[in-house]
Structure 1
């Protein structure tokens, strides 16, 4: 990027404030609907892929704040789309865990991340060489847990610094995952991975909200996590949370600078390496 506007360092602290405000606005709409779920209008985008007016209204509230306060940034959102542009782009999931929400399961979140593009100046001493998540907010309104992180600074849960677990092996680990539910084309790869995980770990959990799986990995509740065929907005914020909590969150194919394609593996350095070795024999790498 050669445009002079891209030589001005991003205000990461300001961006975090905006993201927190937007996440609370989106969550307020979700919680207003939470006790009236039977009244929600629900559409089917595809098999097991639901969207409700709660998703749409939460996203609208989030986008309104982001556009008003950071008009130069791009926006990529689950329900309304968009494209990367400018110095950085917001990636928004206004309701991660829609199926949980619609069934009254209190495990869902608003997820917002700012991904800075290659060539963007982060500070007086660093210019990014690849696209990188730099601000993250994952807000779980049912538990009133706000996870947030800033590139190079750290990760927090309700103001307290968090860190990934120090569990050294998968045999001692509780790992999280996500089952195929919408795209079943990779089931032949995934099911052997799940079989191995069940037989080599302390336990496997599937809670149904990828952003919270990553946030819980960042704070040490889970020791590792993997999932396939997600969307970019599912993993953008959680990727930074894990990285800033001292862990690893990456594309399981090793191609992209962050898991923008939705094939994510995360944990501390030991568990991630062992988990990667476990899934590799079953992973069909694209041409």
Structure 2
């Protein structure tokens, strides 16, 4: 599939996009076998980038430029153009979950999406180490494919969970570990007082896709950039989940704070987040111990 570099790709060929992301995922999967040999640099104290991030991004951006003409491309690693005048924008995260990848934890993914006029048009998230490829086009539903196992795409749907009491949630923590991280700990405390459990897998794209799949009932995170969620948000919405900012509004690109949840749970999760913001100092789990605690056996009051 080739396009005049002066033209804009009017419609995305899903097979072309799938093939491109499979190629990128193959690079990630092969690199996982030699991850101890890879160069790892620091963008921040705990914000990592590897040579594989850069290699996959170069592959994706080169092919997108070749095939999408005048579309704007915003990628995690490197320069980012101003998109205010761009009608069509690609959001590229070459490796969502780089820290996981560096440590051999298999929750990392390639994420690519195109948004048109500020709305998502197509999104794909591929986790090669899990053999899971999520895909969606606006208005056409969302699917999960297992290409390594030869399993074709199947339609997916968010869960029917309607109460925090029955919910399994996920969150993530930002790389800057100041007030935002402290606030998220307060939110976790509010949530733990109600929910069945909270998971922290380390890939925003996969967490949101797992809400789409019904593995998770809800997810929230702060400090996100558009490439973190641009593809997964469409996948979740097309699977019936509700994706919004913390106010409950659907405009996402400037939100930085994202919620994805089963449709019957979304309102209650938004309420929990708003209560935690209103009273971040509220100790919902009870008073803190007033003395040192033992390192072995049950804690006082446990049975």
Contact 2:9 2:67 in 1 (8 A): no
Query: Which structure is higher in strand share?
Result: 1
May I ask how many residue pairs the two structures share in their alignment?
262
Provide the residue aligned with 1:249 in structure 2. Answer: 243
Instruction: Give, in whole Å, the separation in 2 of the partners of 1:9 and 1:58.
Output: 22
Instruction: Confirm or deny: 8 A CA contact 2:9 2:68 kept in the other structure.
Output: no
Contact kept, 8 Å, 1:250 with 1:259, in 2: the verdict is: no
Q: 2:194 aligns with which of 195, 200, 203?
A: 200
Match of 1:273 in 2: 267
**What stretches of structure 1 of length at least 5 have no aligned partner?**
1-7, 118-130
Query: Is 1:82 equivalent to 2:80 in the alignment?
Result: yes
- Residue in 2 aligned with 1:61? 59
* Residue 96 (structure 1) aligned with residue 96 (structure 2): yes
Q: Who wins on radius of gyration, i.e. which is larger?
A: 2
Which residue number corresponds to residue 24 of structure 1? 22
Equivalent residues of 1:247, 1:268 under 8 A apart: yes
Q: Which deviations, in whole Å up to 9, do the C-alpha atoms of 1:211-252 show, x marking residues without a partner?
A: 000000001000000001111100111110111011111122
Mind listing any 5+ residue stretches in structure 2 that lack a counterpart? Answer: 1-7, 146-152, 279-303
Deviation at 1:49, TM superposition (A): 0.4
1:143 equivalent to 2:141? Answer: no
CA RMSD of aligned residues (A): 1.8
Q: Distance in 2 between matches of 1:255 and 1:216?
A: 21
User: By how many angstroms is 1:261 displaced?
Assistant: 3.4
Q: Is the 8 A contact 1:132 1:258 kept in 2?
A: no
Q: 2:142 aligned with 1:133, yes or no?
A: no
Pair 1:191 & 2:185 matched: yes
C-alpha distance in 2 between matches for 1:19 and 1:253: 33
* Contact in 1 for aligned 2:9/2:71 (Cα 8 Å): no
Q: Are the counterparts in 1 of residues 260 and 266 from structure 2 also a CA contact under 8 Å?
A: yes
Counterpart for residue 277 of structure 2: 283
Residues in 1 aligned to 2:138 and 2:11: alpha-carbon distance in whole angstroms: 11
- Give the deviation of 1:254 after TM superposition: 4.7
**CA–CA separation in structure 2 for the residues paired with 1:17 and 1:87:** 23
Distance 2:177 2:92 in 1: 21
Matched residue SS, 2:123:
strand
Distance 1:89 1:167 in 2: 34
| Residue 254 to residue 168, structure 1, CA distance change in 2 (3 Å) | closer
Contact conserved, 1:18 with 1:69, CA < 8 A, in 2?
no
Deviation at 1:21, TM superposition (A): 2.3
| TM-score in terms of structure 2 length | 0.82
- Answer yes or no: is 1:176 the counterpart of 2:165: no
Once residues 220 and 68 of structure 1 are traced to their aligned partners in structure 2, the CA distance between those partners, rounded to angstroms, is: 36
Give yes or no for contact 1:19–1:66 (8 Å, CA) kept in 2. no
Q: What whole-Å deviation, never above 9, does each CA across 1:55-90 have from its counterpart, x for those lacking one?
A: 000111111111111122110000023222543100
Look up the SS of the partner of 1:269 in the other structure: coil
Q: Which residue of 1 aligns with 2:37?
A: 39
Partner of 2:202, secondary structure, is coil
Quote the residue 2:142 is aligned against. 155
- The TM-score normalised by the length of structure 1 is 0.86
